[in-house]
Amino acid sequence: MSKHDGAGVSRRRFIQYTAVTGASAAVALNSPLGGAGTARAGAGAPSFAAFARPDAAVRPRFRWWWPDGLVDPAEIRREIDQIAAAGFGGAEIVAVHHSIRDKSVLDPEGHGWGTPAWNAGVEAALDQARRRGITVDLTIGPAWPAAVPTITPDSPAAVQELAHGSATVTGGQTYSGPVPEPVAAAEEDVHVRHLVAVHAARVDTANSTRIETGLARDSFTDLTATVRDGRIEWTAPGDGSWVLLSYWRRGSGQRPESGPHSAPDCAVVDHFSPAGTKAVIDFWESTLLTKRIRKLIRQAGGTLFEDSIELETQALNWTPDLPEEFARRRGYPLWPYLPVIVQCKERTLYSYEPEITRQARHDFWLTVSDLFNEHHFAALTEWAHSIGLQFRAQPYGLQTDAIETAAIIDVPEGESLGFKNLDDYRVLAGGRDMAGRKILSCEAGAYQGGAYNTTWDKLLRTMGGAYAAGLNQTVLHGFSYATAPGVAWPGFAGFTPYNGGIGYAESWGPRQPTWRHAPDIAAYLGRVHHVMQSGTNRIDIAVFRQKGYSKTGIGAGWFTGTGVPLGWTHQFISAATLELPSATVSGGRLAPKGPAYKAVFVEADRFSSGDRTIPVRSAEKLLRLTKAGLPIVFLGDWSAATVPGVPKAGENERLRAVLKELFAQPKVRVVAADTEVPGALAALGVEPDVKYAQSSTLLNGHRVAGDVDYYYLCNGKHAETVKPPVAAIDHQVTLTRADRRAVPFRLDPWTGEAERIAVYTEDGDKVTVRVALQPSETTVIALGRPGTGVPHATRTDAGEVRYDGGRLVVRSTEPGAYTTTLSTGRTVSTTVGELPAALTLTSWKLQVEDWRPGRTATETAVTRREVDLDGLKAWPDIPELADVSGVGRYRTTVQLDRKWSDGACAGAYLELGKVFDTSRVIVNGRVLPPVDLMNPVVDVGPHLRQGANTIEVEVATTLNNRLRVSDPDVYGKASRQAYGLIGPVRLVPYGEAPVR
């Protein structure tokens, strides 16, 4: 069905122009990107000027890939200018060159990371960013993980592993010889190792699993003291089989990705010890922080950034003080449980009884998490502040509490490539919001095999739902430095070629035809960020998670599967966040000055066989919180609940006693199944801030800033893998307002326009509007005080009702009589007279800028082509344009007779249909506001005139189709993309009549 078919109802944007549009009086706002934005808000109404012109601080950023220090400061300044001029807020400098096979051409000794050449580039970037009013982020080391060239893999500050050796000994037999060698060989540049312990345990097949050998826990024997000069002699008692285990501490030998980046090559630091963090800080203080750079950081520095925590080892992650720290923190020695904790190739090999095995592993990784957070994240955050930066990091990759880490660092970050669904963002958002921090960042758009074929459309469809889940900063992957030795057109790219083939997306920048429209994208994302950084995040439910892992895709039962499609919002909290100062209750809300959760939901440990576990301290805290008025819902049978780790004497009994008292509280419900959750919430008086009239793919995020409620709405999906694809939606949505006098405004993130909604109902603190969005389309509704007392409509059968100059008008694409009910109770009939027929625009002159390799790797030659089209089709279907990439400008002339300017006709919509990729519309020489990529329909009414009208559509593409033929060895396997304005393109008239 066409967007304008059916009962005269425009499907274009019910949330934007139809049952929820309008304004009482026009107040001009200058659009930052051409065309006039308007805020029809009325005197005294909320000001949305900051939304229309988002500040650089909230605009999207780039991951900026350098070939180490082989950069020209003058080119660095040019690239900062390019980023700033396109409307982006900054860049993150990182040494990345996965695309270069021969690393020697980069001269790591003279131009490596941390050399004077590197520092000169950083200084130029910071200085030019200062001049342009944007900021620069600095990565903690070259590529990832954190590493410095001042240590070797054998250094005490280097990343460590615990490798095990094993031998099988039959009962009654004697093992005599060298302590068993490690199963996993050391990396070639690791030369030092330390024998930590030697243990033995009897094999017990009753404890075996499909992949693990069972051991009898009561047979554990510590033989460490019997080792002499690296040899051991031991007779296995009784009969049966025994396993003799040795444990060797050594450097893992890990280097940062795609090195060498320096001479000597960097070694990854120990992330669990003060020594590793000190090595990082010492190198920065002695080598990277020149006097000039220190000053510039305070003027234009943003964050210190650490990428993925990918501490890769064939053995077990380790640190020298781990056994002592484990005993101090957990209250019992690690050694008897080490056999079931040790790993090889990322999997455990032995097991005791299932429950004790899970408990011991929990305690081990909890200890690692503690050390990680204290010695690495907290220490680096404090140091970053001392030099004028905040600390941003991706705090996941190991079995550590990412929720707690997100509460420690300034800016937690996720990633669109690695995150499996929106719950991975909600994990980090919970820690951020409980700690009272503002930003949740994302490494966005790293598509495998997406180099030079990724569209802005794809990126926005990927990211749309994540903003509803709490994301509010986007760091795009990425922007490449212009050149490097031996690269081919269109220049150096950090991740392509990748192993000889198409690499990761994307090298945005002037090398891309779509860069011409990048300011539209930057402004759109900036407005979304502005809204989602305004005030305070508000969330319905806090889901208690026993293990704060992220990047798992594991959700929250009923809330993820059923609650979200009904309007509910949730985040995850962990034991550590319940210890934060914000974990108080007021008015029945947890963290009332922050996310203001209405209830806590506690379910089984989804990472530990569904065990009903919770620390005693957390249970006691929940008891205090519910006594203060907090509703809590428990799922399942908790009568035999246990603590997550190995219990101390009487600890499980104490836990069950606390839970018994907790379950007796009036604000607590225990339900047996997911299906009982909504009933329990209703009985507790808990309802969501947003309610949908039907189950929906609509996603929402709620922020409260002063006396204004902001609702970000996206017709998206929980994960990229969800099938079938999201369809268009059209239904009622009920929103909660803090101020009962507040009225709804629609904020358009593409144009910056703000206009008061004309059709809605209200009931106490609820406002109900109609929402119609195409797949992945977004909008923002703000609830604020009105500027005037002009009545609104509560019901209409018209396509649109809106405010125009302080009066209500009906707008429709079909003539007829329409009935509108006003908030005064009066019902009014309005007639829209005869309209001219819609026009399908088929004849176009197409002028194309054909982008080709130039004389150098960074030079693009442009050949101009012209094609006359009697019907729109994709470029590959036009012989002259089959392998062309670039920018096309479609031009047509439309003759409009008096019917288009007289009588009922008040204007027209230009429907573009299918467009690949970005576009801009020009009518009679006037560049119109940006086109919504998800719903390319433009109101051209104010710009048309009687007689001849020139309509132009500028379309920009990727480089994919040209690279297929210009560099076939790398890109030849790519399929042609269907570029261009494909349509159908229609000019659809609309009429208007006042509601009297």
Band of residue 736 on the pLDDT scale cut at 50, 70, 90:
very high
Looking at the chain, the whole-number percentage of residues with pLDDT higher than 90 is: 92
Spatial separation of the C-alpha atoms in residues 479 and 60, rounded to whole Å: 12
Fill in the amino acid letter for 407. Answer: A
Spatial separation of the C-alpha atoms in residues 907 and 137, rounded to whole Å: 47
The confidence score (pLDDT) of residue 178 equals 98
What SS3 state is found at 837? Answer: coil
Helix-helix angle 116-132:73-85, to 10 degrees: 30
The confidence score (pLDDT) of residue 239 equals 86
Indicate whether 18 pLDDT > 50.
Answer: no
The confidence score (pLDDT) of residue 30 equals 27
Indicate whether 83 pLDDT > 70.
Answer: yes
Label residue 672 exposed, middle or buried (CB < 10 Å: 0-12, 13-18, 19+): exposed
Indicate whether 39 pLDDT > 70.
Answer: no
Residue 625 CB partners (closer than 8 Å, separation 6+): 583, 584, 585, 590, 600, 632
Contact between 501 and 86 under an 8 Å Cβ cutoff? The reply is no
The confidence score (pLDDT) of residue 806 equals 83
The confidence score (pLDDT) of residue 202 equals 98
DSSP 830: E
Of 265, 58, 36, 33, the closest CA to residue 143 belongs to 265
Contact between 251 and 161 under an 8 Å Cβ cutoff? The reply is yes
pLDDT tens-digit profile of 701-735?
A: 999 999 999 999 999 988 766 677 899 999 999 99
The confidence score (pLDDT) of residue 15 equals 30
Q: What are the φ and ψ backbone dihedral angles of 951, each rounded to 5 degrees? A: -115, 125
The confidence score (pLDDT) of residue 722 equals 65
Residue 671 CB partners (closer than 8 Å, separation 6+): 633, 634, 635, 677, 679, 680
The confidence score (pLDDT) of residue 237 equals 96
pLDDT tens-digit profile of 296-338?
A: 999 999 999 999 899 999 999 999 999 999 999 999 999 999 9
Indicate whether 35 pLDDT > 50.
Answer: no
Indicate whether 43 pLDDT > 60.
Answer: no
Fill in the amino acid letter for 538. Answer: R
Tokens, residue 88: 């982006």
The DSSP string of 153-194 is TTSTTB-EEEEEEEEEEETT-EEEEEPPPPSSPPPTT---EE
Indicate whether 497 pLDDT > 70.
Answer: yes
Q: How far is CA 841 from CA 609, 893, 924, in A?
A: 61, 9, 16
Whole-number CA gyration radius for the chain? 31
Indicate whether 957 pLDDT > 50.
Answer: yes
Spatial separation of the C-alpha atoms in residues 282 and 279, rounded to whole Å: 5
Residue 374 CB partners (closer than 8 Å, separation 6+): none
Residue 490 CB partners (closer than 8 Å, separation 6+): 452, 507, 511, 853, 857, 858, 860, 959
Contact between 71 and 42 under an 8 Å Cβ cutoff? The reply is no
Other CB atoms within 10 Å distance of the CB of residue 592: 14
Query: Which of 25-29, 501-505, 691-695 is predicted with the least confidence, judged by mean pLDDT?
Result: 25-29
Q: Which stretches of 463-569 are assigned E, i.e. beta strand? A: 473-480, 536-538, 541-544
Indicate whether 840 pLDDT > 80.
Answer: yes
The confidence score (pLDDT) of residue 903 equals 78
Spatial separation of the C-alpha atoms in residues 523 and 930, rounded to whole Å: 9
pLDDT tens-digit profile of 107-135?
A: 999 999 999 999 999 999 999 999 999 99
Fill in the amino acid letter for 536. Answer: T
The confidence score (pLDDT) of residue 721 equals 65
Other CB atoms within 10 Å distance of the CB of residue 185: 10
Contact between 641 and 599 under an 8 Å Cβ cutoff? The reply is no
Residue 33 CB partners (closer than 8 Å, separation 6+): 87, 519, 520, 523, 929, 930
The confidence score (pLDDT) of residue 4 equals 37
> Going by DSSP bridges, is the β-strand pair 213-214/350-351 parallel, antiparallel, or unpaired?
parallel
Query: Which of 1-10, 193-202, 459-468, 730-739 is predicted with the least confidence, judged by mean pLDDT?
Result: 1-10
Of 163, 166, 92, 94, the closest CA to residue 129 belongs to 92
pLDDT tens-digit profile of 186-217?
A: 999 999 999 999 999 999 999 999 999 999 99
What SS3 state is found at 789? Answer: coil
Band of residue 805 on the pLDDT scale cut at 50, 70, 90:
confident
The confidence score (pLDDT) of residue 902 equals 79
Q: Which stretches of 445-555 are assigned E, i.e. beta strand? A: 473-480, 536-538, 541-544
Spatial separation of the C-alpha atoms in residues 252 and 186, rounded to whole Å: 7
Give the torsion through C-alpha atoms of 610, 611, 616, 620, to 10 deg. Answer: 50
The confidence score (pLDDT) of residue 46 equals 66
Query: Which of 146-150, 718-722, 894-898, 974-978 is predicted with the least confidence, judged by mean pLDDT?
Result: 718-722
> Going by DSSP bridges, is the β-strand pair 61-66/90-95 parallel, antiparallel, or unpaired?
parallel
DSSP 931: P
The confidence score (pLDDT) of residue 42 equals 42
Spatial separation of the C-alpha atoms in residues 427 and 407, rounded to whole Å: 11
The b-or-e profile of 46-58 (16+ CB within 10 A means b, else e) is bebeebbbbebbb
Of 834, 827, 836, 783, the closest CA to residue 808 belongs to 827
**Number of helices and strands in the chain (H, E):** 19, 57
